[in-house]
Amino acid sequence: MKEITVLSGKGGTGKTSITAALASVAENTVFCDNDVDAPDLHLIFNPDIKETNTFYSSWSMTIDTDKCSSCGVCTDLCRFGAIHYNDDKGYLINGFKCEGCRLCERICKQNAISSERNGNNYWYVSDTRFGKLIHATMQPGEDNSGKLVSQVRKSAREVANQTKAQYIINDGPPGIGCAAISSVTGADAVLIVTEPTQSGLHDIKRLTKLVRTFNTELYVLINKYDINTEVADNIKDYLVEENIELICEIPYNRVMVESVVAGKTIIEYLSNDYISDKIRHVWEVIKQ
């Protein structure tokens, strides 16, 4: 079984549209949405959820003001500045700053601080017209998206083993943070979908550095290449310098957006189209 991760470095390059398009040509494949903070592959896959699992992201801390002696030790020791004193309410924990390390709970001699696991996040195994999809939802501001990516990928591998699937295609998150790192770890190949903008060029450089630390096969697709041919040429020069294969260039076309609005892949939306042929080519190259 081989695992391919589609990444972009930045949002808005068309990464998910390309991943979805691959679903129309990839045979015997399990799909996994690794963009757990803002998933959108389900908009096209229209999943029928068969299994729901809770993901415990972090810890929620509370101070019992009746037990608190106002010694202030927890405020001094919290490295994240999450505990502050309020004249009316006493010592309080700011949930947005708290990292859930639970140090304060351990050092409070009054046992005034307690913790509870956050269980508001879920991951799913679903049936779709393209086969199995593993996906997740995280509440805004929740921690540990990298850990949730690991969880959905682990589940995708289990499902792939059970169904004897040959491939897993991961729709990765934007950026180069924890979730992106978690998405690349152990993958056999990475396809970067980029666009000819200055931020696209900048982010492909950052992402290349990241992927290369994992020694993973790397391919690049330039989407909307004709919106700025000068920057597209700069990206191509960079790929030559770095000895990275440019697998495909796709021109800007409104039908890409229209297909997403219609809840279809570009190949479902336009059969026998020039873009569809390009996507088939991408899949054949990556497979080999």
Q: Which of 4, 18, 41, 74 binds ligand SF4 (CB under 6 A)?
A: 74
H-state helical runs in the chain: 15-23, 41-45, 73-77, 103-107, 145-163, 178-184, 198-212, 229-241, 255-261, 266-269, 274-287
Q: Taking CB under 6 A as the rule, which mask of x and - marks residues 97-136 in contact with ligand SF4? A: -xxxxxxx---x-x-xx-----------------------
The residue (of 69 and 163) whose beta carbon lies closer to ligand SF4 is 69
Taken as a whole, the chain contains a residue count of 288
- Which residue, 20 or 74, is less far from ligand SF4 as judged by CB? 74
- Kindly tell me which of 107 and 257 has the beta carbon lying closer to ligand SF4: 107
Based on the shown chain and the rule CB under 6 A, indicate whether residue 83 belongs to the binding site for ligand SF4: yes
Q: Closest by alpha carbon to 238, among 214, 217, 222? A: 222
- Interface stretch with ligand SF4, choices 48-56, 73-81, 116-124, 138-146 (CB under 6 A): 73-81
Per CB under 6 A, the list member of 12, 51, 56, 71 interacting with ligand SF4 is 71
Among 30, 41, 82, 176, binds ligand SF4 (CB under 6 A): 82
Q: Which positions from 23 through 62 interact with ligand SF4, judged by CB under 6 A?
A: 61
For residues 128-187, which are near ligand SF4 according to CB under 6 A? Answer: none
Under rule CB under 6 A, residue 70 binds ligand SF4: yes
Which pairing describes strands 189-194 and 2-7: parallel, antiparallel, or unpaired? parallel
Token pair recorded at residue 133: 């999809």
Measured between alpha carbons, how far is residue 8 from residues 201, 211, 221, 223 in Å? Answer: 11, 12, 10, 10
Give the residue among 159, 162, 129 at the shortest CA–CA distance from 170.
159
- Burial-class residue 98 by CB neighbours within 10 Å (0-12, 13-18, 19+): buried
The answer to whether 78 contacts ligand SF4 (rule: CB under 6 A) is: yes
Q: Which residues bind ligand SF4 (CB under 6 A)?
A: 61, 63, 68-74, 78, 80, 82-83, 91, 93, 98-104, 108, 110, 112-113
